A = this chain, B = another copy of it.
Amino acid sequence: MNLEPALAELSHRLGARFSRVPAALAQYGQSETHVTGGLPDAVVFPQSTAEVAMIARLCAANGVPMVGWGAGTSLEGHALALKGGVMVDFSQMNQMLAVYPEDMLCVVQPGITREALNDALRATGLFFPVDPGANATLGGMAATRASGTTAVKYGTMRDNVLGLEVVLADGRTIRTGTSAPKSSAGYDLTALFVGSEGTLGLTTELTLRLHGQPEAVSAAVCAFPSIADAVDCVIATIQSGIPMARIEFLDQASVEACNAWAGTSLTVEPQLMVEFHGSPAGVQEQTERFAEIAAEMGCTGYDWAKATEDRNKLWRMRHNAYPAILALRPGATALVTDVCVPISRLAEAVEETRADIAESPIMGPILGHVGDGNFHAILLVDKDDPAEMAVARRLSNRMVERALHLGGTITGEHGIGCGKLGYMAAEHGAAWDVMGQIKRALDPANLMNPGKMVRQK
């Protein structure tokens, strides 16, 4: 690595939008969870694709690693600069560039956040549905193939990114996709870059699919005597073809945490939180049919949130589940694991995980996007206590291994980052080597977010 000349040139070209002051770099060594490690040698704040391409060419010429940074909300340390180099902070590329209401598309820069995007869209009657909870940037959401509460209806980032502009490791800028709704013209590079966690290039522009704001919305919370009953209700609802917009699961411990944090008084039993979008009559019908199914599946309490303010309160509570759970143990850090399994195996996956956690000395509420077979355990740990960390890691590993055993995946939406690299071989076998071949083809010097995603030498 020929670091100093590269940094000197970047400093010269970017002026105040370049820094190597330790205080400015420190934040990039942290993550939302227990994962830490690696500091960049410098941070840059590009304002255009041309600047990103210039940065990439300079870094490439000098063998300097490049890592993209959005809002820093990822849960597996995706954006930690494990090999140093230049952190490319996209906070000054945060604009909506264009919106095409007739085509239900918009074009954004990668640094725009989910909430800012939806604020900017409000007047159009359209919205961008992918909602991972955190106010992440769209560039980061694409990089991790984020999803969240609404994926059961609207899909994940895989389904809602129509095209990208990407600066490659050698400084070339490419465009993937078009503004047409579909295409069969060539390899699906958009899908390849979405979820590649910054290891193949730096995203500088995204074309996103938008959706019409639903005419009517209704939501409900319902309690079940057991996890299996709640999950059976989800399966029956999906099979009956009722198009849920959200269907979220909270276990008893999550319900307790949410009650304490939000001042709510949900029954401390496994709960489903559902939402329906559609026409007034459609939503009414969906809601009634869901209530029937829930009753058949043994629902012990059904609470209705028709008014907007009640609904907002409900989803605010759900979105705050993470801080609510962290507050169960003041000073604790979270080791968050997310897996995804076929829906038919969800009840056993959740129940066995819950039994594992119950037998351990660690608190670990479980919650998730059960319409997708996706759930999370939030293990509350003292990250400076090696024994406790070892227990938490063992719990997390068992959960991941169980997901694989049940035909699922090691992560439904959080991604690989630093936390799951050790399981890539187990999930993908020889296909992991294919990922490595693709990485080497596009980034032979391993400069884009090195240390992640592919087998490390």
Interface set of A (CB-CB < 8 Å, partner B): 100-105, 144-147, 151, 156, 158-159, 168, 172-176, 178-189, 191-192, 194-196, 200, 212, 214-215, 235, 238-241, 278-279, 281-282, 285, 289, 340-344, 372-374, 403, 407-416, 420, 423-424, 427-435, 437-438, 440-442, 453
Q: Which of A104, A403, A420 has the most CB of B within 10 A?
A: A104
Q: Which of A104, A179, A184, A441 has its CB near the most chain B CB atoms (within 10 A)?
A: A184
| CB–CB A181/B372 < 8 A | yes
- Residue among A104, A278, A416, A428 facing the most chain B CB atoms (10 A cut-off): A428
**Could you list 15 further interchain pairs (A-B, Cβ under 8 angstroms) beyond the known A181-B343, A182-B413?**
A103-B342, A103-B343, A104-B238, A104-B239, A158-B191, A175-B429, A179-B408, A181-B374, A183-B409, A184-B411, A184-B412, A185-B409, A186-B432, A188-B191, A191-B192
Do the beta carbons of A342 and B412 come within 8 Å of each other? Answer: no
Question: Which residues from B are CB-within-8-Å of A173?
Answer: 430
User: How far is it, in angstroms, between the C-alpha of A358 and the C-alpha of B203 when the chains are bound?
Assistant: 44
Check B184 against A428 for contact (C-beta < 8 Å): no
Query: B438 to A187, Cβ gap below 8 A?
Result: yes
- A441→B435 contact, CB < 8 A: no
When all copies of this chain in the complex are counted, the total is 2
Closest 5 CB pairs of A and B: A191-B191, A441-B441, A102-B344, A183-B409, A179-B407
B residues less than 8 Å from A281 (CB atoms): 281-282, 285
Given A174-B431, A441-B438, A147–B182 Cβ distance below 8 Å? Answer: yes
Report how far A23 CA is from B380 CA in the complex, Å.
Answer: 70
Instruction: Return chain B residues, CB-CB under 8 Å to A442.
Output: 434, 437-438
A240→B285 CA distance, assembly (Å): 19
Tell me whether A183 and B340 are in contact in the complex, defined as CB-CB below 8 angstroms, given that A175-B431, A285-B281 are known contacts.
yes
